[in-house]
Amino acid sequence: MTTHSWSRIRSRHSLGSSFDPDPFLDCWFLRMPSQNPFPWLPRRWVNLLFPWVRWSLMWFYSVTHALRFPLRLALGAPSADPAQALACGWCHSVNIGRGLPKRNVKEALVTPMGLLGDSQTAPYIAVWGGHAGFNKAVMLWSNEVIQSINDTGASFFPGASGEQITLRGVDWSLVKTGVRLSVGDLLLEVTYMKGPCKNMDRYFPSPSDKSKIDPKKNPDSARVFAKVLKPGRVRVDDPVLLFEHPAGKQPLQIAC
């Protein structure tokens, strides 16, 4: 990367050296358990109610953001020091929509519950968290990995697999559980490596080829989920910086 490019990144990311996670994100509700968190309510009611709750919270956040009053979950929001970056790159594509594939947009507002304008089709309890929970708010993938997979006969494109943010120029072998990514105004933390589901069959010559993006077999090609440590807008061509977790290397976590 050129000196001029690094100057642009350092200018946009001079956010201080604090790198501690928001303690509010550790509360029980935000951990998103794998079962119905409201056992006194029928599953069907929860599945019907949650999309409206999520929609309301995300639009509330969009209003506060538009009024230049960003909603902060707690004091001391984390920030990133570019001098500590392990690698860098760019935002190649921003993708939103309901289900698959997602459509490309120039920019989107990213909240702790995902991207405004994006939603999932699976039942809420079945994928508690999914693309709509705090620990799986954003899915990311690499444009270089997409191209490499396509060279073997697949037919992926940005947004096809359900990722909301597609990056380019980032060393994807470094993107594992615990790694933090500064993308434009955002700060994300990778929570899970994403395993391939049956929806990926359409993009491969054979269903067995899904192993090429299976984190258990090919972790350097897998998609990843991330939680949002610092919300904001993400735009195509935003600079990306990659950071190690403050506590060092984290155990690999895999989500189906």
**112: how many CB neighbours lie within 10 A of its CB?**
23
Question: Average pLDDT of 20-42?
Answer: 53
**Residue 233: enclosing H or E segment and its boundaries?**
strand 232-235
* CATH code of 35's domain: 2.40.33.20
Average pLDDT over residues 172-177: 98
Average pLDDT on 190-217 reads 95
pLDDT at residue 47 in the model: 79
3-class DSSP state for residue 251? Answer: coil
Range of the domain at 237: 3-255
Read off the pLDDT of each residue in 205-223 and give the average, rounded to a whole number: 97
Query: In degrees to the nearest 10, what's the CA dihedral of 50, 222, 209, 151?
Result: 120
Averaged pLDDT for residues 159-181: 97
* Residues 43-95 pLDDT 10s: 788 778 877 877 888 888 888 877 776 555 433 456 667 888 999 999 999 99
pTM of the model: 0.83
Q: How many domains does the chain have?
A: 1
CA distance 224 to 176: 8
The amino acid sitting at 33 is P
Encoded amino acid at 123, one letter: P
- For residue 4, name the pLDDT band (cuts at 50, 70, 90): very low
pLDDT of 177: 97
**pLDDT at residue 5 above 60?**
no
